[in-house]
Chain A
Amino acid sequence: MAFRTEKEAIRVRYLLGDLSEQERVDIEESYFADDNSFQELEVIEDELVDAYVHGELAGADQQQFEKLLQSSARLAGRVQFARILANRVGSMSPTPETDAVVPAVATERPARSKDTQTWWQKIFGVPQAGRKFAFAGSAVTVLMAAALLFAWMQLRGSSQRLERERAALQQQREGLNAQSSEQNSKINQLAADLERERNLRAEDQKLIESLRNDSANETASPSRSIAFLFLPSATTRGASGTGGTVTLRPGQSIVRLSLLLPADEYKSYEATITNQDKQPILSRKGLRSRRIGSDSQITFQFSAASFSSGDYFVSVSDASGLETIVGYGFRLVRAR
Chain B
Amino acid sequence: MREEVQPKEKLITPAMDSPLHVKKEHWALTQTAFDNLLRRFASNRDEAAKQYESLRRKLVRFFEWRALDVPEECADETIDRVARRLEEGTEIENVAAYSYGVARKVFRERIRRRETTVVELENAREVPAPTVTEDPELDERFHCFDRCLSNLPEDKRTLIIDYYQDEKRAKIDLRNQLAEKLSIPLNALRIRVHRIRINLESCVNQCLKLKE
Q: Do A and B bind each other?
A: yes
Contact of B201 among A39, A78, A190 (CB under 8 A): A78
Q: Which of B12-20, B36-44, B80-88, B125-133 is found at the contact surface with chain A?
A: B125-133
Complex alpha-carbon distance, A177 and B113, angstroms: 25
A98 and B162 contacting across the interface, CB-CB below 8 Å: yes
A32 and B99 contacting across the interface, CB-CB below 8 Å: yes
Q: Which residues of B contact A186 (CB under 8 A)?
A: 119
Complex alpha-carbon distance, A43 and B142, angstroms: 23
Chain B 151-179 interface residues, beta-carbon cutoff 8 Å to A: 158, 160-162, 164-169, 173-174, 177-178
Q: Which residues of B contact A24 (CB under 8 A)?
A: 66
Q: Does B197 contact A (CB under 8 A)?
A: yes
Chain A 243-283 interface residues, beta-carbon cutoff 8 Å to B: 264-267
Chain B, interface size category, equals: 35 or more
Chain B 95-150 interface residues, beta-carbon cutoff 8 Å to A: 96-97, 99-100, 104, 113, 116, 118-119, 121, 124-132, 135, 141-142, 145-146, 149
Complex alpha-carbon distance, A66 and B181, angstroms: 37
Q: Which residues of B contact A265 (CB under 8 A)?
A: 113, 116
Complex alpha-carbon distance, A65 and B88, angstroms: 42
Q: Which residues of B contact A183 (CB under 8 A)?
A: 127
Q: Does A105 contact B (CB under 8 A)?
A: yes
Q: Does B205 contact A (CB under 8 A)?
A: yes
Chain A 170-211 interface residues, beta-carbon cutoff 8 Å to B: 172-173, 176-177, 179-181, 183-184, 186-187, 190-191, 193-194
26 A-B pairs within 8 Å (CB atoms) are namely: A17-B65, A29-B100, A35-B54, A39-B194, A41-B61, A43-B190, A43-B191, A71-B67, A74-B71, A80-B135, A84-B204, A85-B145, A85-B200, A86-B167, A89-B161, A89-B164, A94-B161, A97-B158, A97-B162, A102-B174, A105-B173, A172-B132, A173-B131, A176-B132, A236-B23, A267-B116
B65 and A14 contacting across the interface, CB-CB below 8 Å: yes
B161 and A187 contacting across the interface, CB-CB below 8 Å: no
Q: Which residues of B contact A94 (CB under 8 A)?
A: 161-162, 165, 168-169
Q: Does A23 contact B (CB under 8 A)?
A: no
B154 to chain A, nearest CB (A): 10
Chain A 40-83 interface residues, beta-carbon cutoff 8 Å to B: 40-43, 46-47, 54, 68, 71-72, 74-75, 77-78, 80-81
Q: Assuming the A-B contacts A35-B54, A88-B146, are A180 and B97 also in contact, with contact meaning beta carbons closer than 8 angstroms in the complex?
A: no
B146 closest partner in A (C-beta): A88
Q: Assuming the A-B contacts A81-B201, A169-B132, A173-B131, are A17 and B67 also in contact, with contact meaning beta carbons closer than 8 angstroms in the complex?
A: yes
Q: Is the interface of A mostly helix, strand, loop or mixed?
A: helix
Complex alpha-carbon distance, A194 and B142, angstroms: 50
A32 and B141 contacting across the interface, CB-CB below 8 Å: no
Q: Which residues of A contact B65 (CB under 8 A)?
A: 14-15, 17
Q: Assuming the A-B contacts A98-B165, A102-B169, are A46 and B67 also in contact, with contact meaning beta carbons closer than 8 angstroms in the complex?
A: no
Q: Which residues of A contact B118 (CB under 8 A)?
A: 264, 267
B9 to chain A, nearest CB (A): 15
B142 and A88 contacting across the interface, CB-CB below 8 Å: yes
Q: Which residues of B contact A78 (CB under 8 A)?
A: 201
Sample of 7 further A-B pairs with CB below 8 A, known A15-B65, A72-B64: A17-B66, A28-B62, A89-B165, A97-B162, A102-B169, A176-B131, A181-B129
Q: Does B4 contact A (CB under 8 A)?
A: no
Q: Does A31 contact B (CB under 8 A)?
A: yes
Complex alpha-carbon distance, A101 and B189, angstroms: 16
B191 and A33 contacting across the interface, CB-CB below 8 Å: no
Contact of B121 among A72, A85, A179, A291 (CB under 8 A): A291
A46 and B197 contacting across the interface, CB-CB below 8 Å: yes
B178 and A101 contacting across the interface, CB-CB below 8 Å: yes
Q: Does A116 contact B (CB under 8 A)?
A: no
A186 closest partner in B (C-beta): B119
